[in-house]
Structure 1
Amino acid sequence: GASRATDGVRSASRPAAARRTAAGGAVKRLTAPQPRRFTGRATVLFAVLIALALGYTYPVRVYLDQQADIERMEAAQAAQRAEIDRLTAEAAKWKDPEYVKTQARERFFMGKPGETLLVVLSDPDGAAKDAGKGTRTGAPKPPDPWYDTLWSSVRAANAERQDK
């Protein structure tokens, strides 16, 4: 009994690790469990949010496309209204007889009886620069054969098709 009492006193003065080694043998070092990154609830919540995001993607895209269509149509409608206003104003001008006379003079070179009309041509780089030069002397060039004309027509049609 006395040795037990002294054993108890001695074991009280030793550190806890030494007591465990003496009592049970090898020491197992215990570590705190590492927490999981996502719990089951968080994973389910994340999956539901992804499903909702994917579910709402198409309707949102359709909505944005419709808004763009509405804006385009409103812009076209505003342009048509402006064109209608312009044409209405022009039609009102044509109701005035003086405007009709002015347009006839400018567009069709019409004048009142007894007036002498003078038309000024201003074409410094056009046909007037060749007016003083003589014509070519020599025989005119004969027309191309029909098959050359046909082939050039096919080439022209092909070039138009590739431009589009």
Structure 2
Amino acid sequence: MSRTDRPDGGTERRVDVRGWLGGIRLSGFMLIMLGLVVLAVFVLVPTIGTYVGQRQQIAALENSVQVTKSQVAELQKQRDRWKDPAYITTQARARLYYVKPGEVVYLVDDDLSASQLPQEKAPVSDTVQQTRTDWMSQLLRSVAAAGLARTASTTGGAPGGTTPSPTTSPSATR
């Protein structure tokens, strides 16, 4: 190593690379071993990458199996609930509005409390205002929705508070 003086008064150290490289002696055995190490790196890097990728897939699949097992357990609980006649009756009353003979059911359309009702209504305007939507497309959507809506008798609610009797299809009577 040699030292040189800098203009600011400090000294700078230089490394003589030629002297350092000249001290390295490579034998044939060392070159073969270095070649084997390089070859091992080229062979093992893709293999290790494949291994890591497969381990990630296995972990994801194990997680998926755990989620599926919890879903199966939940579905089995639901199936067990449907075996109870009281639960079936409750669901039929709540979902399909079924009632027992002689019962009267009242459906409340506006069940908001007085505090939830809007207190102030906007005054009616005497001026003509432009609408923000296309009234024709909204009219057509409304008519289509009304035409495709189910009637009260097809959704399970029967007039008069009685349960509709099951009907048999023509194919079942043969």
Q: TM-score, normalised by structure 1?
A: 0.51
Give distance in 1, aligned partners of 2:68 and 2:133.
51
Give distance in 2, aligned partners of 1:59 and 1:80.
31
CA RMSD of aligned residues (A): 3.6
Indicate yes or no: 2:112 matched with 1:103. Answer: no
Flag the structure with higher helix content. Answer: 1
**1:69–1:145 distance in 2 versus 1, CA, 3 Å:** closer
In structure 2, runs of 5+ residues without a counterpart are 1-21, 135-174
User: Within 5 A, what are the aligned runs for 1:4-43?
Assistant: 36-43=24-31
**1:111–1:117 distance in 2 versus 1, CA, 3 Å:** farther
Identical pairs, percent: 18
Shift of 1:140: 5.9
User: Within 5 A, what are the aligned runs for 1:2-151?
Assistant: 36-107=24-95, 113-114=102-103, 128-130=116-118, 132-138=119-125, 139=127, 141-144=129-132
Task: Name the aligned partner's letter for residue 51 of structure 1.
Answer: L
Task: Flag the structure with more relative contact order, 1 or 2, with Cα contacts below 8 A and sequence separation at least 6.
Answer: 2
**1:104–1:62 distance in 2 versus 1, CA, 3 Å:** same
**1:44–1:95 distance in 2 versus 1, CA, 3 Å:** same
Flag the structure with higher strand content. Answer: 2
**1:123–1:52 distance in 2 versus 1, CA, 3 Å:** farther
Task: Name the aligned partner's letter for residue 60 of structure 1.
Answer: I
Task: Name the aligned partner's letter for residue 40 of structure 1.
Answer: G
Q: How many residues align?
A: 111
Larger Rg, first or second structure (1 or 2): 1
Give distance in 2, aligned partners of 1:53 and 1:123.
75
Map Cα deviations across residues 33-53 of structure 1 (whole Å, 9 max, x no partner): x86344332122112111111
Map Cα deviations across residues 92-116 of structure 1 (whole Å, 9 max, x no partner): 2112110122334455666654467
Give distance in 2, aligned partners of 1:116 and 1:91.
29
Task: Name the aligned partner's letter for residue 78 of structure 1.
Answer: Q
Shift of 1:54: 1.4
